[in-house]
Amino acid sequence: MAAEGHAPNASEYIAHHLQHLQNKPQASIVDFSVFNLDSIAFAVLLGVLASWLLWHVARKATSGVPGRMQSAVEWLVEMVDGQAKSIVHNAKSRKLVAPLALTVFIWVFLMNAMDLLPVDALPVLWQWVFGAAGHDPAHAYLRVVPTADLSVTMGLSFSVLILCLIYNLKSKGVGGWTHELLTAPFGSVKLSGNPLTWLGFVLLSFANVGMQLIEFVAKTVSHGMRLFGNMYAGELIFMLVALMGGAWALSATGIALFLGHIVAGTVWAIFHILIITLQAFVFMMLTLVYVGQAHDSH
């Protein structure tokens, strides 16, 4: 984290915690050959956990008086199914979309909830493992909140984009979707023997296709950036709160730092529970909305 015998300052502390465990150093701002191994590991682990949790509850479900976990999952299923029915009107599509939305909600919620763990808990444990393996523990980087990684949130939103394109083709056909690309949102010009109508048709078609592409890109970027921005900001605030406790521990003076660390950490953690739940719900709802729009014609 810092040079040997030198306690890290605030900038070094935050910079260390914001560094991913990667397969190789990043050479440029956009480098698709670099993989954030910590984000991948925690995202896959929590995805498996979410799937196992739903399978376990479904396997143990009874028709009698349900337990707390079964009641919670049944409430989630009913809530998601109700939202899916109001947005995706195609019954056949809902058979896939509703379970997908439920999985997305639980998966994103679990990834967001990693932010509630103590900031230094898993990184310090990893630092010990890294040092025990004979490596320099100062370079034991680990970030535990996958949704605070832009590559993860954009990967999720890009997956939703692919799903929307598939449903556009499935519900409208190649011809119907091509016609929509050329005629929405500005409409089209009725062709006739007048060459100006052909020119108008070509110009409007270019404008319509351009607007459709902008719409798809804007949806995808905003979908991923919204989740990333909220979770990244939350992660930074937890680090700042941790610095207050660190400053008090190092100086052993200033009771205000200690009280501020406890109060601020508690208040922000309680408030963050609302944030992680709301962001999971928003991501799920936008997924349903975008898939629902893929079934609608302009």
Give the tens place of pLDDT for each residue, 12-60: 899 999 999 999 988 888 888 999 999 999 999 999 999 998 899 989 8
Which of the residues 9, 51, 71, 222 is marked catalytic? 222
pLDDT over threshold 90, residue 66 = no
3-state secondary structure 134-197: CCCHHHCCCCCCHHHCHHHHHHHHHHHHHHHHHHHHHHHHHHHHHHHHHHCCCCCCCCCCCHHH
pLDDT value at residue 254: 65
Q: Which of 194-198, 214-218, 259-263, 287-291 has the lowest mean pLDDT?
A: 259-263
pLDDT value at residue 250: 58
Given pLDDT bands bounded at 50, 70 and 90, which one contains residue 297?
Answer: low
Which of the residues 39, 112, 168, 230 is marked catalytic? 230
Given pLDDT bands bounded at 50, 70 and 90, which one contains residue 91?
Answer: confident
Which of the residues 151, 159, 171, 226 is marked catalytic? 226
Contacts with 293 (C-beta within 8 Å, 6 or more apart), sequence order: 164
Q: Is 222 a catalytic residue?
A: yes
The H-or-E segment that residue 255 falls in is helix 255-295
Domain tally for the chain? 1
What integer best gives the mean pLDDT of the chain?
89
Mark 127-154 as b/e (b = at least 16 C-beta within 10 Å). beebeeeeeeeeebbbbbbbbbbbbbbb
Instruction: Give the three-state DSSP class for 215.
Output: helix
Could you tell me the pTM of the whole model? 0.90
Given pLDDT bands bounded at 50, 70 and 90, which one contains residue 243?
Answer: confident
pLDDT value at residue 2: 47
Interval 169-194: pLDDT, tens: 988 999 999 999 999 888 888 888 88
Q: Contact 13/245 with Cβ under 8 angstroms? A: no
pLDDT value at residue 246: 67
pLDDT value at residue 3: 45
Q: What's the rounded mean pLDDT across residues 127-134?
A: 88
pLDDT value at residue 212: 93
pLDDT over threshold 70, residue 63 = yes
Domain that holds residue 90: 10-295
- Report yes or no on 97 lying in a domain: yes
pLDDT value at residue 8: 72
- Report yes or no on 2 lying in a domain: no
- The amino acid occupying position 19 is Q
Residue with the bigger pLDDT between 274 and 132: it is 274
Q: Is 226 a catalytic residue?
A: yes
Which two three-digit tokens encode residue 86? 């109001």
- Report yes or no on 287 lying in a domain: yes
Q: Is 230 a catalytic residue?
A: yes
- The partner residues of 22 in beta bridges, in order of sequence, read 36
